[in-house]
């Protein structure tokens, strides 16, 4: 039985005069006012090392901005405590570009943890949901292994599945297609498509260099460049950028 | 003149750095307690496995080493005490001497050193590797507070283990030490046990609990804190582990010294000396 009724519906994600920088490095975001498009698949695009992963971490609430506001439903979440941010956090799924699996738990337990810790599902329903996904990705035989005992491909897949298994409203994926193979890419695309169609996943953010994979989603492009975010309203191949003023 | 100012400067920096470090560690203690209390999803069952694993690794697996250490320390102190007290004509003081030396002073310190060497290093490197492998971030992304899920159960398990190990150490040192040196002396066991029982007071129990509980807390909090200092790279793990050992030893020794000093100050005040 699903228990997500107490979670708020995420309607808007917005930055207001937001700065994000790390010590001795160029700022990743500098005085950014930006409203992310809603209900779409967003492709975060930038040059290497511009800070796409940091931007995704900021959206996931794993990094706090240096200055300014990160507003979800017009609530400034950057100043919230862990407990205050929890309802939003449970509505966000995040998959890492590498690592991130709990090494002393089996792959099955890694998937069970987000479902049963906050009682999103009862253990039996959680098992059923995991079995369904593992069959779909054909990874059932690995589920009782620990992360160190399986290939990088399986680890990456589990990390991606863990992000979507709670059916979050916002899905953030950092380089999801790297190392999982074409077949798994197709299954992942179909999984996300199914959940979007059912209205479970509403907003998807993907950072990737894999144009072939990302084009399957027909995404809206958001460029991160020189500490600013730009929305690209045109076709994928049209690289004309437009500054968004809120 | 510049040499004097330079020395004062470096001393000031040393004190400030250590005060800041202590402040940060205390903040982590507060935050992990707060997170544990506020975390409604985390029942005792969730953290029970971590607490029991910590007790198993820190307490149970350390028993052989603590047995050897307790026996040797107890035997050495007992033999030295007997030979010297006999010369001074104070054999009946043997109980008081052993309680002071073992229960109050050597026991908490030696057990703490064993726990730092075995478990403090293990916890610091485990948490450091979790950090480098982004497991801590993963927990946060799932809405699980690492301070209540990782830090609190390790500290609680560690404190319980240290208290149990210290009790075991004292028992082995006092009783085992007596029988291990049986061939070298002719003291009747009834005399020895009566002397111990009459020397043991309630303040010894308080000092035992205070020193061991806080030593356990210091070791595991410092180790977790150092582990969490790792940023991204696994090469930082050995560095934070070494620092965890150094800081734990310094803090435990300072704490033991402070408790001993305060206790004897209190005794001197009761005697009217000061």
The pLDDT tens digits for B34-55 are 888 887 777 677 788 889 999 9
For residue A8, is it within any domain? no
Chain A hits for B140, CB-CB cut-off 8 Å, are 61-62, 82, 89
What is the structure's pLDDT at B35? 87
- What pLDDT band is residue A172 in, cutting at 50, 70 and 90? very high
What is the structure's pLDDT at A3? 63
Chain B hits for A93, CB-CB cut-off 8 Å, are 141
Say what percent of chain B tops pLDDT 70. 99
The minimal CB distance from B142 to the residues A82, A103, A117 is found for A117
Strand partners, A14: A35, A71
Provide φ and ψ at B200, rounded to 5°: -80, 120
For residue A37, is it within any domain? yes
Alpha carbon of B125: minimum distance to chain A alpha carbons (Å): 13
- What pLDDT band is residue B160 in, cutting at 50, 70 and 90? very high
Instruction: Please indicate whether, in this complex, the C-beta atoms of B141 and A94 are within 8 angstroms of each other.
Output: yes
* Domain carrying residue A124: 13-243
Give dist(CA A75, CA A72) in Å, integer. Answer: 5
Return the exposure string of B81-115: e unless at least 16 CB atoms fall within 10 Å of the residue's CB, then b.
bbeeeeeeeeeeebbbbbbbbbbbbbbbbbbbbbb
Mean residue pLDDT of chain A comes to 90
Instruction: Please indicate whether, in this complex, the C-beta atoms of A102 and B46 are within 8 angstroms of each other.
Output: no
User: Per residue in A117-151, pLDDT tens?
Assistant: 988 899 999 999 999 999 999 999 999 999 999 99
For residue A186, is it within any domain? yes
For residue A3, is it within any domain? no
Q: Is the pTM of this model over 0.90?
A: no
Choosing among B143, B146, B151, B153, which should be mutated to test the A contact, i.e. which has the most A CBs within 10 A?
Answer: B143
What is the structure's pLDDT at A1? 54
Does the pLDDT value for residue B111 go beyond 50?
yes
Alpha carbon of A182: minimum distance to chain B alpha carbons (Å): 26
Question: What CATH number is attached to the domain comprising A175?
Answer: 3.40.50.300
Give dist(CA A229, CA A45) in Å, integer. Answer: 10
Q: What is the DSSP letter of A211?
A: H
Chain A hits for B132, CB-CB cut-off 8 Å, are 99
The 10 Å Cβ neighbour count of residue B76 is 14
For residue A66, is it within any domain? yes
Mean residue pLDDT of chain B comes to 91
Residue A21 neighbours by CB under 8 Å, 6+ apart: A27, A28, A29, A30, A66
For residue A229, is it within any domain? yes
Q: Does A92 touch chain B (CB under 8 A)?
A: yes
Q: What is the DSSP letter of A210?
A: -
Distances (CA, A) of A135 to A130, A149, A183, B108, B114: 9, 20, 14, 55, 48
Residue of B nearest to A148 (CA): B133
Sort strands A41-45 and A67-72 into parallel, antiparallel or unpaired: unpaired
Give dist(CA A238, CA B15) in Å, integer. Answer: 60
Choosing among B138, B139, B140, B237, which should be mutated to test the A contact, i.e. which has the most A CBs within 10 A?
Answer: B138
Chain B hits for A86, CB-CB cut-off 8 Å, are 143
Extents of the domains making up chain B: 47-271
Provide φ and ψ at A80, rounded to 5°: -80, 150
For residue A206, is it within any domain? yes
Nearest to B224 by CA among B168, B165, B164, B146: B146
Alpha carbon of B63: minimum distance to chain A alpha carbons (Å): 25
Residue of B nearest to A99 (CA): B133
Instruction: Please indicate whether, in this complex, the C-beta atoms of B133 and A99 are within 8 angstroms of each other.
Output: yes
For residue A82, is it within any domain? yes
Structural domain total, chain A: 1
| CB of A138 closer than 8 Å to CB of A190 | no
Q: Establish, for the pair of chains A and B, how many residue pairs have beta carbons separated by less than 8 Å.
A: 59
In B116-235, which ranges are continuous DSSP H helix? 121-132, 135-141, 146, 152-171, 177-180, 189-199, 202-228
Q: Which of B49-58, B110-119, B163-172 has the lowest mean pLDDT?
A: B49-58
What is the structure's pLDDT at B180? 86
What is the structure's pLDDT at A244? 46
Chain A hits for B137, CB-CB cut-off 8 Å, are 57, 62, 96, 100
């Amino acid at each position: 039985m699903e228990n997500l009724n107490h979670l708020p519906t995420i309607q808007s994600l917005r930055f207001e005069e937001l700065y994000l920088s790390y010590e001795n490095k160029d700022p990743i975001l500098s005085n950014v006012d930006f409203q992310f498009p809603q209900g779409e698949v967003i492709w975060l695009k930038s040059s290497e090392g511009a800070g796409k992963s940091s931007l995704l971490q900021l959206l996931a609430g794993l990094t706090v901005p240096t200055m300014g506001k990160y507003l979800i439903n017009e609530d400034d979440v950057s100043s919230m405590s862990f407990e205050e941010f929890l309802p939003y956090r449970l509505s966000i799924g995040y998959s890492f570009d590498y690592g991130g699996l709990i090494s002393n738990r089996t792959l099955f337990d890694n998937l069970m943890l987000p479902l049963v810790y906050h009682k999103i599902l009862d253990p039996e329903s959680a098992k059923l949901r995991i079995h369904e996904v593992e069959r779909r990705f054909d990874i059932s035989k690995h589920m009782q292994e620990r992360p160190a005992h399986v290939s990088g491909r399986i680890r990456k897949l589990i990390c991606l599945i863990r992000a979507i298994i709670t059916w979050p409203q916002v899905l953030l994926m950092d380089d999801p297609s790297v190392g999982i193979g074409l077949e798994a890419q197709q299954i992942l695309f179909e999984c996300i498509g199914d959940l979007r169609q059912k209205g479970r996943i509403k907003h998807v953010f993907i950072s990737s260099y894999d144009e072939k994979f990302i084009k399957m989603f027909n995404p809206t492009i958001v460029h991160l460049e020189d500490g600013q975010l730009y929305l690209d309203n045109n076709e994928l191949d049209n690289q004309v950028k437009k500054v968004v003023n809120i | 003149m510049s040499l004097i100012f330079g020395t004062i400067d470096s001393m000031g920096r040393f004190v400030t750095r250590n005060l800041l470090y202590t402040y940060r560690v205390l903040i982590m203690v507060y935050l992990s307690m707060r997170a544990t209390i506020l975390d409604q999803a985390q029942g005792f069952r969730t953290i029970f496995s971590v607490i029991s694993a910590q007790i198993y690794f820190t307490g149970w697996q350390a028993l052989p080493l603590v047995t050897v250490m307790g026996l040797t320390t107890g035997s050495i102190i007992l033999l030295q005490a007997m030979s010297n007290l006999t010369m001074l004509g104070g054999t009946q003081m043997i109980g008081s001497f052993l309680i002071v030396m073992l229960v109050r002073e050597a026991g908490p310190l030696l057990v703490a050193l064993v726990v730092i060497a075995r478990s403090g290093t293990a916890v610091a490197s485990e948490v450091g590797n979790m950090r480098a492998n982004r497991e801590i971030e993963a927990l946060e992304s799932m809405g699980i507070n690492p301070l209540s899920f990782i830090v609190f159960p390790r500290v609680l398990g560690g404190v319980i283990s240290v208290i149990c190990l210290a009790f075991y150490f004292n028992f082995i040192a006092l009783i085992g030490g007596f029988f291990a040196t049986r061939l070298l002396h002719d003291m009747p066991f009834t005399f020895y046990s009566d002397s111990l029982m009459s020397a043991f007071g309630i303040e010894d129990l308080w000092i035992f609990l205070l020193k061991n509980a806080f030593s356990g807390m210091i070791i595991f909090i410092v180790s977790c804190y150092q582990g969490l200092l790792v940023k991204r790279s696994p090469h930082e793990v050995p560095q934070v582990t070494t620092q965890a050992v150094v800081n734990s030893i310094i803090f435990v020794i300072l704490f033991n010294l402070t408790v001993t000093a305060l206790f004897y100050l209190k005794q001197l005040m009761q005697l009217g000396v000061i």
